[in-house]
A and B are shown apart, each in its own frame.
Chain A
Amino acid sequence: MSVVETLTEGEIVISTRALTRDFVVSRTETVHAVRGISLHVEPGELVAVLGPNGAGKTTTLRMLTTLITPTSGTATVAGFDVTTQPSQVRRRIGYVGQGNGAGHSQRVGDELVGQGVIYGLDRRTAKLRAGELLEALELKDLAQRKVSDLSGGQRRRLDVAMGLVHAPSLLFLDEPSTGLDPQNRANLWDHILRMREQYAMTIVLTTHYLDEADSMAERVVVVDHGEVIADDTADGLKATLAGDRLAVTVAPGNITRLSELAGKLPGAREVIAVGDEVSVRVADGPAALPELVAAAQRGGVPIAAAQVHRPTLDDVFLNLTGRSLREDSNGKAAR
């Protein structure tokens, strides 16, 4: 049973209309961090917001969690308006920000128990839950440590533990797994998903890890320059926005012939011939490949090798923006 008020089934948990946020940086410069985001999230959904640095992910989350007010547009979270009823919203959500939520001079256990008490748990329950989370996130031996003495990854796990301690029915996570080693990342996800199940949580998170968005979220919202540029399941995005790619190798003399055949495949796009390899984008790779092989055989073009490449979310982003998310890791998005 959750401490915060539970949401009624069927109700929209998050609903925003044309949400925007400008930051006036100086007299001559205004940053349009978020430009008209409309988003609807239903109970129980797990939504990953994906986008390069500076895309406006954090700013969006900060508006939805009542930290900053929108410049224009509206947002209803857990049934309440973020601008006019912020305290109602705060009572019903959990938030793990991009920074570290625990005070540096505090002890790990104190902060976790304290967070539970803040949300209305009695001390005994708060202690019990804190103990369970410390155990689950492998922080148990660190309970008496000062937060400033933790490693970056340990601190991040404490942040997430603090977001979970009151088992909110709506949880916002801003890059929860950044800085964690693969084992801890997997472990963290294990527990987030388990708690989601147990408390019927709705989760909105941001991440830079493409594989994470791909495997964990049922829904991926791609944000770039403050706008939603795609919103679908990971598979849906890949099928409609990237598609599978066939790569077929033939003898050099047959390249032109094979390119023609590849172009005739249903839904074929981007036929590219490089060296002795022809590549082509199709909606359904595993089905198209035998078809192409058969056609080549009929046309007397012997095929040396053939492969199907399934698209990644990076292909999706590349197709949408002409930029790769991977190359973006060491700086702001190109404007």
Chain B
Amino acid sequence: MTTLTLSATSTPTSTQPSRNLLRDIRIVMTRELKPVLRDPFSLLFGMIQPLIFLALFGPLLSGSMGGTFGDGVWQWFVPSILVMTTLFGTSTTGANLLFEFQTGAHERMLVTPLSRSSLLIGRALKEMVPLFGQAVIVIAVMTPFAFDLHLGGALIGLALLAVFGVGLGSFSYALAIAVRKQDWMFWVVQQTFLFPLMILSGMLLPLETGPGWMRVASKFNPLSYVVDAERTLFSGDVLSSAVLWGWVAAIVTAALGLTVGIRAMLRSAD
């Protein structure tokens, strides 16, 4: 048996009058990133999925409607895949929190002095990291295949996606908190929203050939603006109004998501 004597130290930050929100956010974000970085294999695997989709869906797309695309199917489809990766990755992230509700890990965090909002913001911000990694891999693999990389536009495109992803991730966490007592509801609601959003954004198939009501509906879908903005940016056109609308959609999504998410987090103990 060993003797336990914990190191006595001078009280470092002990009499801190108020806690620093940024420090709290960094702590939460670091904790969330640890499993991702510690397990690079799962990270790698997560990044291969979009490539598989790209490899299987891309050729079909160009085969069936090759004529519709001006400067090549990849130029049209690679931005779609990036948005799709964001959509899938961030909308499911609430499931991790749901699991922490069940084990008691979230309860443990709620009793610590970490501010409630940092618990949400830190988690939401961490979404950017795997998202960025996946995007870089997709771009790196696709650039040799008839995909023109415009670096400036691509970087702005990734920044826009990151902001949008933070918003979507927040919504996903808010959903997880709302349904924590009936956890099966999480996937029902997530799927119910995911597919209409995806199809009505023109992400996978162009809506120009679809019925009129679909085109009208897509105007109310924030994702449409993000998809348009990404395509415009990845074609190197940084100053188009589509880009501006994309930013508006992303920022509004992030602001709403964070608001809803933080409010949910404040009431997540009961």
Chain A residues in the interface with B (C-beta under 8 A): 1-5, 62, 65-69, 87, 90-91, 93, 95, 97-107, 110-111, 114-115, 117-122, 125, 128-129, 132-133, 135-136, 162, 164, 167, 187, 190-191, 194-195, 198-199
Contact = CB atoms under 8 A, between A and B. Distances in A.
A107 B33 CA distance: 12
27 contacts: A1-B8, A3-B14, A67-B107, A68-B269, A68-B270, A87-B19, A90-B112, A93-B111, A95-B108, A97-B111, A99-B102, A102-B105, A103-B35, A114-B34, A118-B113, A118-B114, A120-B16, A122-B12, A125-B12, A128-B7, A132-B6, A133-B6, A135-B2, A187-B1, A190-B1, A195-B4, A199-B6
> Of residues A3, A65, A98, A105, which shows the largest number of chain B Cβ atoms within 10 Å of its Cβ?
A105
Nearest to B11: A1
> Of residues B11, B103, B108, B110, which shows the largest number of chain A Cβ atoms within 10 Å of its Cβ?
B108
Interface of B: 1-16, 19, 27, 30-31, 34-35, 38-39, 96, 99-100, 102-105, 107-115, 269-270
Given A119-B113, A190-B1, A101 B6 contact: no
Contact of A195 (B6, B13, B27, B39): B6
Given A118-B112, A133-B4, A107 B38 contact: yes
B2 A136 contact: yes
Nearest to B101: A99
Given A90-B112, A104-B99, A106-B35, A167 B6 contact: yes
A111 B270 CA distance: 24
A327 to B, nearest CB: 28
A310 to B, nearest CB: 29
A91 B113 contact: yes
A198 B5 CA distance: 8
A90 B111 contact: yes
Contacts of A100: 103-105
A62 B270 CA distance: 10
A335 B30 CA distance: 47
B35 A87 contact: no
Contact of A129 (B7, B13, B27, B114): B7
B267 to A, nearest CB: 10
B11 A95 contact: no
A194 B270 CA distance: 34
B176 to A, nearest CB: 14
Contacts of A69: 270
A190 B2 CA distance: 10
